[in-house]
C-alpha cells in the first residue's frame, strides 16, 4: 500500500533535482532589482512536477479506497471455520446446539460458483426432520442481511438462528441460499446444505 507514496515521492524528488540542474546550467534564476524571476522552462517544469504529484496522490487514494472496501470482507471470512470454495460453497458448523425457544448466533460463508452475480442472496432454513424421519412444522428461523455476491467471490454472513418450539432432541435441517441469478427477476434456490440441529431444554 505504501508503494504509491514512495513512487510519488521519488518522482517529485527527481523533478526537483532536474529543476535545480537546469537552473544551475542555464542561469534560469536572475536577480533583477532584488527580485527573483524564473525562466519559462523552469515554470513549465514546476507545473509538470505538480501535475505528476497530483496524479500520484490520486492513484494512491484510489488504491487505498479499493483496499479499504476489501478489508471488512477479509476480516469476516477469517472468522469462519473454513473459507467457502467451489467444492464447498456453503460453510458453517455441521452441528448447531440451541436451547428450546432461544436464539444463537451463526457465521455462514457462501461462495458463488455460478457465472452470474447473485443478487439479494439470503439465507433460510426450509425444512427439518426428526430422528424418525418425520417432517416438523416449527422449524427454526434464520435472520441475516442479504448480500450481492459476484462470480468466484465469497461472502460471510452473520446470522441469528431462533428456535421456535421443537421438542428437545436431534434433527436434520436444510439451510438454503436463495438469490436472484444474473438478469432474472425471481429468487431461486442457489445452494443448500444439511446440518444437525440439537435442541435442548
Q: Kindly tell me if the per-residue pLDDT of 54 is higher than 90.
A: no
**pLDDT tens-digit profile of 68-123?**
444 445 457 778 888 999 999 999 999 999 999 999 999 999 999 999 999 999 99
Which pLDDT score is estimated for 126? 96
Q: Quick one: cell of 101?
A: 425457544
> Which pairs with CB-CB distance under 8 Å and at least 24 residues apart come from 146-149?
146/120, 146/121, 146/122, 147/110, 147/121, 148/117, 148/118, 148/119, 148/120, 148/121, 149/110, 149/111, 149/112, 149/117, 149/118, 149/121, 149/179
The three-class DSSP label of residue 137 is coil
Domain ranges, ordered by start, for the chain: 3-78, 90-200
Q: Kindly tell me if the per-residue pLDDT of 24 is higher than 50.
A: yes
Mean pLDDT value of segment 24-48: 58
Mean pLDDT value of segment 39-51: 72
Q: Kindly tell me if the per-residue pLDDT of 51 is higher than 60.
A: yes
Name which CATH class applies to 90-200: mainly beta
Q: Against a cut of 0.85, is the pTM above it?
A: no
Which pLDDT score is estimated for 29? 46
**pLDDT tens-digit profile of 142-197?**
999 999 999 999 999 999 999 999 999 999 999 999 999 988 789 999 999 999 99
Mean pLDDT value of segment 126-151: 96
Q: Quick one: cell of 163?
A: 428456535
Reported confidence tier of residue 16, pLDDT bands at 50, 70, 90: low
Instruction: Spell out the SS3 assignment of 22-74.
Output: HHHHHCCCEEECCEEECCHHHHHHHHHHHHHHHHHHHHHHHHHHHHHHHHHHH
Amino acid at each position: 500500500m505504501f508503494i504509491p507514496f514512495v513512487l510519488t515521492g521519488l518522482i517529485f524528488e527527481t523533478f526537483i533535482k532536474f529543476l535545480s540542474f537546469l537552473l544551475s546550467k542555464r542561469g534560469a534564476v536572475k536577480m533583477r532589482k532584488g527580485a527573483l524571476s524564473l525562466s519559462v522552462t523552469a515554470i513549465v517544469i514546476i507545473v509538470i512536477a505538480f501535475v505528476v504529484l497530483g496524479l500520484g496522490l490520486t492513484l494512491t487514494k484510489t488504491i487505498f479506497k479499493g483496499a479499504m472496501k476489501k478489508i471488512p470482507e477479509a476480516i469476516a471470512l477469517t472468522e469462519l471455520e473454513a473459507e467457502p470454495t467451489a467444492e464447498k460453497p456453503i460453510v458453517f458448523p455441521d452441528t448447531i446446539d440451541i436451547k428450546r425457544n432461544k436464539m444463537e448466533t451463526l457465521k455462514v460463508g457462501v461462495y458463488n460458483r455460478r457465472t452470474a452475480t447473485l443478487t439479494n442472496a439470503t439465507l433460510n432454513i426450509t425444512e427439518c426432520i426428526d430422528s424418525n424421519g418425520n417432517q416438523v412444522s416449527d422449524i427454526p428461523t434464520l435472520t441475516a442481511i442479504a448480500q450481492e455476491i459476484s462470480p468466484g467471490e465469497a461472502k460471510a454472513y452473520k446470522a441469528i438462528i431462533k428456535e421456535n418450539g421443537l421438542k428437545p432432541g436431534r434433527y436434520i435441517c436444510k439451510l438454503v441460499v436463495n438469490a436472484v441469478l444474473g438478469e432474472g427477476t425471481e429468487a431461486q434456490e442457489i445452494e443448500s446444505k444439511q446440518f444437525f440441529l440439537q435442541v435442548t431444554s
